[in-house]
Structure 1
């Protein structure tokens, strides 16, 4: 399925102001590419705890050069692309006449934001009665199904699966791509040391127990580092371990693979889907303490037989090297000129 865009249409992309994380970067990448393909895409920023409209573009995203919308023209020929966390704006009068596209960058973040919306209103008098008649901007699946001129765009296979299970028809799937510094495709195998890296923000006590059982190895937390420092440590590490929840296609595992790290991954969220992370199943584990002995064996294999183990991730690295090419093709499939 695709969407036909007229030459006079403006595509507005709703994005949090001055906020650097995977979702906002994907939104800027989409805006840049739409413009390069001849469409008129503009960023529309919303204030948040991280930034105001006085300086809405994060320094990391100025390179994408996406124009900022001075005002959203509420016209039926125009489009509004918004992430799943902003679905509460689907019924805003300001956007009433626009064609709307929800880009499902994170299934998990949608569910969290949905509960936040319920919490905001459920204490009010006659909440259930009023909610039944859609008196509150709560973006339930049921309400979205009833909304006209609303399209759904998947990002990960995790979101493809979510949309299918909830009977929300998708117009396509567009993922993002990693920055140029991670797409050089170099061979980093000769720089490797016996180091295991991990993201402490994405892991909990389960990883701590794994670390205790494998204390003979050097563990390095990727925290309080610049992007350049993260990159340098990925080049040196032999293993990247992640048993955290993956709300979408996470960047850090992909970046680690590009730097020739072996990956040992859990099965939470997007990480459970081979389509999102096509690695051999022997490197993917359920979140269960009974699996720690086998996880330890795989860690030992990756460290002490790195040359052999690293070969298992070459096919995934080749896929990642083509991410931007795939990104452009997918945009061309979904967005057509009329």
Structure 2
């Protein structure tokens, strides 16, 4: 277990100048620690100084979290790594500090591991000389043997860690931005629109779109959070057949803004604990299911007023996420 005192400093490891669900969760954790009286810094890695004047992405400037390039490598302090940066837990500069891997996703862990494996194969002499054997590939076996704590983010990651014999110190999931947490009823603003994340839904959804020209499809791509919110406020249906490496934010945002959800079953979406929707809105991504998916989309458009009631419990649960997040932060990182 972690040993936390009034003298503990927290360092949150985060990719520099990169905006996505994971980095947002990392900034949320830093803010929660700061607001509960902890000393905390962001520790950005992979910062391109020639390209950017600051390692802080503009979307996270409002969190107002201080950052540092060097850390105090002390057993009093705590360093929190996203699973995609787990290779750095063996860095000599972090040898004494208490380390936590926060499993924001499972799929992205394996994607990053594959990238590091390829890097090691392509540049073995350079890497061996630079790392002096102090850094290992973050395979499950190596991570399991290391002296780090583990924190889950989704039931997908809880299940994955349990199956690999890795104990956790708890589970903390991020929450939605305040613009999605109004608790308002948006049903009166709805139009016959179906929206989706155009970046994470490609060929499979394109096949559905081709046979439904009568449906008004509205893709979300290169949008600000405000634009995403406006899009969801007007749409009756949100469709997502992406790979769901962790608890995806967009389906939760859509539910909070009163969209009916039609979701696939890849990654965390396969777990009812992560996506607690009725089976009639949950589909395997197969060609055979396309007619059923189209039928359900049209059902939601035609009978929206009754269908949206099926998501009221999930919306209520999501409105409590921020409160639960802070409770978990206090519980897991309590001063002993």
Query: Normalising to structure 1: TM-score of the pair?
Result: 0.93
Q: Which residue of 2 aligns with 1:47?
A: 46
Task: Give the number of equivalent residue pairs.
Answer: 333
Q: In the alignment, what sits opposite 1:58?
A: 57
Map 1:69-80 to 2 at 5 A. 69=68, 71-80=70-79
Partner of 2:261, secondary structure, is strand
1:125 Cα deviation from its structure 2 partner: 7.1
* Paired residue secondary structure (1:333): helix
| 1:248 aligned partner | 246
Unaligned segments of structure 2, at least 5 residues: 126-131
Q: Could you tell me which residue of structure 1 aligns to residue 116 of structure 2? A: 117
User: What is residue 170 of structure 1 aligned with on the other side?
Assistant: 168
Q: 3-state DSSP class of the match of 1:203?
A: coil
Give the CA deviation at 1:49.
Answer: 5.7
Whether the 8 Å CA contact 2:136–2:142 is kept in 1: the answer is no
Would the aligned equivalents of 2:90 and 2:134 in 1 still touch at CA under 8 Å? no
Contact 1:17 1:50 in 2 (8 A): no
Write the distance in 1 (CA, Å) between the matches of 2:311 and 2:275: 10
1:72-221 aligned at under 5 Å gives the runs: 72-122=71-121, 136-148=135-147, 150-221=148-219
Measured against aligned partners, the alpha-carbon deviations of 1:272-305 in whole angstroms (never above 9, x if no partner) come to 1111111111101001111111112211110000
Deviations 1:6-28 (A, max 9, x none): 11111111111222211111111
> Taking structure 1 as reference, are residues 125 and 104 closer, same or farther at Cα in structure 2, changes over 3 Å only?
closer
Pairwise CA RMSD of aligned residues?
2.2
The CA deviation string for residues 206-262 of structure 1, in whole angstroms up to 9 with x for no partner, is: 111211232211001111333222211111100000111101111111111111000
Larger CA deviation: 232-241 vs 222-231:
222-231
Return closer, same or farther for 1:180/1:268 CA change in 2, 3 Å cut-off: same
Instruction: Judge which range, 322-331 or 17-26, deviates more.
Output: 17-26
- 1:125 and 1:35 mapped to 2: Cα distance? 41
Residue 71 of structure 1: how far off its partner (Å): 2.4
Partners in 1 of 2:159 and 2:299 — Cα distance?
33
Conserved? CA contact 1:195–1:238, under 8 Å: yes
1:3, 1:336 within 8 Å by CA — same for their partners in 2? no
Distance 1:11 1:44 in 2: 10
Number of the residue aligned with 2:129 = none
Cα distance, 1:326–1:125 mapped onto 2, change above 3 Å: closer
Indicate if the aligned counterparts of 2:242 and 2:266 stay in contact, CA closer than 8 A: yes
Cα distance in 2 for residues equivalent to 1:125 and 1:251: 38
Per the alignment, do residues 311 and 233 of structure 1 end up closer, same or farther by CA in structure 2, a change over 3 Å counting?
A: same
Q: 1:38 aligns to what?
A: 37
Superposition TM-score, scaled by structure 2 size: 0.94
The answer on whether the counterparts of 1:15 and 1:27 sit within 8 Å (CA) in structure 2 is yes
| Cα distance between partner residues in 1 of 2:51 and 2:76 | 29
Q: Deviations over 1:133-190 (max 9, x none)?
A: 9665311111112212x00000111111111111111110000011111100111101
Q: For 2:283 and 2:291, how far apart are their aligned partners in 1?
A: 11
1:332 matches 2:330: yes
Structure 2 counterpart of 1:274, from 267, 272, 275: 272
